[in-house]
Chains A and B, each alone.
Chain A
């Protein structure tokens, strides 16, 4: 941040200086500078000044470098690791916590004040993981695992986005990051590790009968698919369809009926052939999974 302020003001000052000199130079009524003096302007203004400035800037930046993005010490030091896998056009999120593996999607919750390690992967094309308020971006590249560590300073809800062009609905691949007090976070994580209390609702049978479980997993049911987002606690998420629309029953129903209307190019087929009341029932059940 300081870096940015320093660079912006420095850049503005340099720009003003250069433009002023150009403006002076094009004025016709002025003293003509002699050639040796003009050569000295090139030497000092064009060569020496930028060299010194850039040396200072680089030294400062390299001095900052090891602290800004410390390499995660991974797997041993902390007890929480978040694995985020980019998929076209959503995020698969898995929390590894004390031997548990807790699956979620499209929303990341983090405790304030703890440095959390992320491992970033991709299953299809290159994506890039970025939550501007929490830190810089890191690409998710198929066949590679990139590491990143983030530390939230205050509680709140932040928007993240995919910043590497990843196909038709690249614009519709965003992410919600919720930062919480550590105690609240621990309680939340514990609840996520279990099936939702409303898992026995009435839409469940319809959900299973129409084959939704072959792509989606819902903890506590026979739905164990892995091709689409995990829906175990869908109802508790803030946004739907990777940060695109508000998480309401209507929107869930709309998405089931025609995903392409909300997210062109999504892998999920349209289920508009289902009876409207079936769709509503499934949507209501999903919304209830908290």
Chain B
């Protein structure tokens, strides 16, 4: 039995990577905004916020990597080259796999970039 179906017959898997980026971005923004606006509320240090963001980042990266792997598998692990323009279900799936893989790559980079500031910035700095 497979944990995840081999070919997910839907349009929406395409957006997995960017959706994870969006969730990660929102969490980073909202947690930092609330932390800086209401320091007393959470009662924690900025370093805890950094750790929290680091943790969320790792989770997001793992999730993107997982979706990238599934997409890579759907793309036949690179056995077929683009352009994937045959009028067949097979080529449509390859196209979806490849496009999803590319988007996962972009999302991976974007998540890393979003998390980059917490390495250098050590306070709210308002």
**Is B47 interfacial (CB-CB < 8 Å)?**
no
Instruction: Please name all residues of chain B whose beta carbon is closer than 8 Å to the beta carbon of A66 when the two chains form the complex.
Output: 120-123, 125
Contact A55 B113 (CB under 8 A): yes
Contact B126 A147 (CB under 8 A): yes
**Assuming the A-B contacts A36-B81, A39-B82, A51-B109, are A59 and B125 also in contact, with contact meaning beta carbons closer than 8 angstroms in the complex?**
no
B104-123 interface code vs A (CB 8 A; 1 in, 0 out): 01100100110011011111
Within the complex, the shortest CB–CB distance from A56 to chain B, in Å, comes to 11
Kindly identify which residue among B82, B105, B109, B123 contacts A71, using a CB–CB cutoff of 8 Å.
B123
Kindly identify which residue among B82, B113, B119 contacts A54, using a CB–CB cutoff of 8 Å.
B113
CA distance in complex: A62, B115 (Å)? 11
Contact A62 B120 (CB under 8 A): yes
Contact A58 B116 (CB under 8 A): yes
A78-101 interface code vs B (CB 8 A; 1 in, 0 out): 000000000000000000000000
**Count, chain B residues at interface, CB 8 A:** 18
Contact B126 A63 (CB under 8 A): no
For A68, the closest partner residue in chain B by CB is B125
Contact A62 B119 (CB under 8 A): yes
**Is A65 interfacial (CB-CB < 8 Å)?**
yes
CA distance in complex: A65, B124 (Å)? 11
CA distance in complex: A54, B121 (Å)? 18
Within the complex, the shortest CB–CB distance from A102 to chain B, in Å, comes to 26
Instruction: Please name all residues of chain A whose beta carbon is closer than 8 Å to the beta carbon of B116 when the two chains form the complex.
Output: 55, 58-59, 62
Kindly identify which residue among A35, A47, A58 contacts B113, using a CB–CB cutoff of 8 Å.
A58
Contact B81 A65 (CB under 8 A): no
Contact B125 A62 (CB under 8 A): no
For B117, the closest partner residue in chain A by CB is A62
**Assuming the A-B contacts A39-B82, A58-B113, are A65 and B120 also in contact, with contact meaning beta carbons closer than 8 angstroms in the complex?**
yes
Instruction: Please name all residues of chain A whose beta carbon is closer than 8 Å to the beta carbon of B126 when the two chains form the complex.
Output: 71, 147
User: Which residues of A, 21-61, contact B by the 8 Å Cβ criterion?
Assistant: 35-36, 39, 47, 51, 54-55, 58-59
**Is A114 interfacial (CB-CB < 8 Å)?**
no
User: Which residues of A, 134-184, contact B by the 8 Å Cβ criterion?
Assistant: 147
Contact B122 A65 (CB under 8 A): no
CA distance in complex: A147, B106 (Å)? 37
Within the complex, the shortest CB–CB distance from A54 to chain B, in Å, comes to 7
Within the complex, the shortest CB–CB distance from B1 to chain A, in Å, comes to 37
Instruction: Please name all residues of chain A whose beta carbon is closer than 8 Å to the beta carbon of B125 when the two chains form the complex.
Output: 65-66, 69-71
For A50, the closest partner residue in chain B by CB is B109
Instruction: Please name all residues of chain A whose beta carbon is closer than 8 Å to the beta carbon of B105 when the two chains form the complex.
Output: 47
Within the complex, the shortest CB–CB distance from B36 to chain A, in Å, comes to 11
Q: List 9 A-B contacts (CB under 8 A).
A: A47-B106, A55-B112, A62-B117, A62-B120, A65-B117, A65-B121, A69-B125, A71-B123, A71-B125
Q: Residues of B with Cβ closer than 8 Å to A? A: 81-83, 105-106, 109, 112-113, 116-117, 119-126
